[in-house]
Amino acid sequence: MIEVKGLKNQLVHSKETTYFALTLVFSILAYLGLLFSIVGIMIIGVIVLFSYCLHALSMASIRRNGVRISQQQFPEIYAKAELLAQKMELNAVPNIYVMESQGLLNAFATRFFGKEMVVIFSEIFDLHAEHREDELLYVLAHEFAHLKRRHVLVHFFLLPAMYVPFLGEAYMRACEYTCDRYAAYYAGNLEASKEALVMLAIGKKLSGRVNQEAFVQQINEEQGFFSWISEKLSTHPDLPKRINALEHWVYPEQYHLVKETKRGPIIAVIVSIILFAAVIGGSLAFAHGSNALATWLAAGGSLEDDYLYEEDPIDVPALHMAIENNDLDELQQLLDDGADIEETDSEGSTALQHAVMWTNDEAVELLLLNGADVNTTDDWGTTPLINAVLNCEDTKIAKLLLEKGADPTLKDSSNKTAYEYALEYKDRKHVDLLE
């Protein structure tokens, strides 16, 4: 538990209460307006019935095909979920289901015939296998908080307001801020909570390498009308804002709340108007030019090279392309023809680095046999051995590199060795190999 005095009394974000009142008033007025006519009553009935049936079908599929966490299924996780539910004073442990996610990182809370449910995508549940249960508990606590605050039930009654641009989204963003607080408080680990949010931005593998301070500063570095409007039309706050809001909530004197300047969106609106006028003008000019071209063609003209152009191709080294195509014969032929084995791409990666990142052990072995530098570094100071730890599930490539003299003590620009990354990501196989 985060031991900071008074936090438990500040779990609900102030904006949630404000926007809830606004959405409630609007929804009540909308329902009253519809009730004055038979057509309105029918519209309400159709909306409610359609939403209910669609939701019921989706949840029924999850309950039949998802893996339910229980005392018999992943009991160690269920025990922690049970303890978490007790701390949060839930009436019972919600039914927890894990669904295959095809790489997506997500989770959500819902209800099904009066029963509360939490659905976790498998990519997030994999945190359990990676011994990162603090981050997993944060995600669980976040969804439990939605149930604790009855957001799922309330949203059903606030449907009219949810269709009002900006209003419904503003309320739901405020709910996310509240649930972030609940999750951090009851999971009891601020750093794991922040890393769980970073994970949503960059994925699990590299979340530990993200400079969180720099990520938060993107709030002011990435500004403009479209950046501003994209968040206003979203049900979730931007991830850097959620991290900063958590830090400020727990340690307000140490972490100041980063706020966007209003000048950027205002300037962006003006620029957008100018651009819109330019697009209209350009479209009219294009239409005029098209008419002139059509007239010229009708008069017997033809399209010659003056009307054609080619973009310069992206300069990708031939060795790298052969690796991407998994064409070992082409790779060997290029090497036999004298191709520079240490040629780098735009990120400073040699063919060996590329083969490691593509987890192509045959290409790695071939390049090593042809004298590739086993300790080469890219623009981030990353060695092939470090990339092997970061990208490969097994240790075959790392063993090949070590046999050819890879130096396990070399550090990248983050001042970490391959062994330190293996420890950080709890990669037991590579830890044992590099010890």
Q: What are the tens digits of pLDDT across the range 45-68?
A: 777 677 677 767 777 888 888 999
pLDDT of 37 reads: 67
**Same CATH topology for 7-165 and 318-434?**
no
Nearest to 118 by CA among 94, 101, 142: 94
pLDDT of 86 reads: 94
Q: How far is CA 253 from CA 4, 189, 235, 250, in A?
A: 13, 19, 29, 9
The domain ranges of the chain are 7-165, 318-434
Write down the pTM of the prediction: 0.59
Secondary element (H or E) of residue 63: helix 38-65
Chain mean position to CA 269:
28
Q: Alpha-carbon distance 148 to 155, whole Å?
A: 14
Q: Contact 64/56 with Cβ under 8 angstroms?
A: no
Average pLDDT over residues 385-395: 86
Q: Contact 402/370 with Cβ under 8 angstroms?
A: no
414 or 141, higher pLDDT: 141
Q: What are the tens digits of pLDDT across the range 265-286?
A: 555 556 556 765 665 666 556 5
Q: Is the pLDDT of residue 140 over 70?
A: yes
* Parallel/antiparallel/unpaired status of strands 107-112 and 67-69: unpaired
Q: Is the pLDDT of residue 309 over 60?
A: no
Instruction: Write down how long the chain is.
Output: 435
C-alpha angle 95-131-410 in degrees, rounded to nearest 5? 150
Average pLDDT over residues 33-40: 69
> Considering only 17-21, 154-158, 296-300, which range has the smallest mean pLDDT?
296-300
Q: What are the tens digits of pLDDT across the range 169-216?
A: 999 999 999 999 999 999 989 999 999 999 999 998 898 899 999 999
- Cross-strand bridge partners of residue 117: 95, 110
Secondary element (H or E) of residue 107: strand 107-112
What CATH code would you report for 318-434?
1.25.40.20
What CATH code would you report for 7-165?
3.30.2010.10
Q: What is the dihedral of CA 59, 201, 70, 423, to 10 degrees?
A: 160
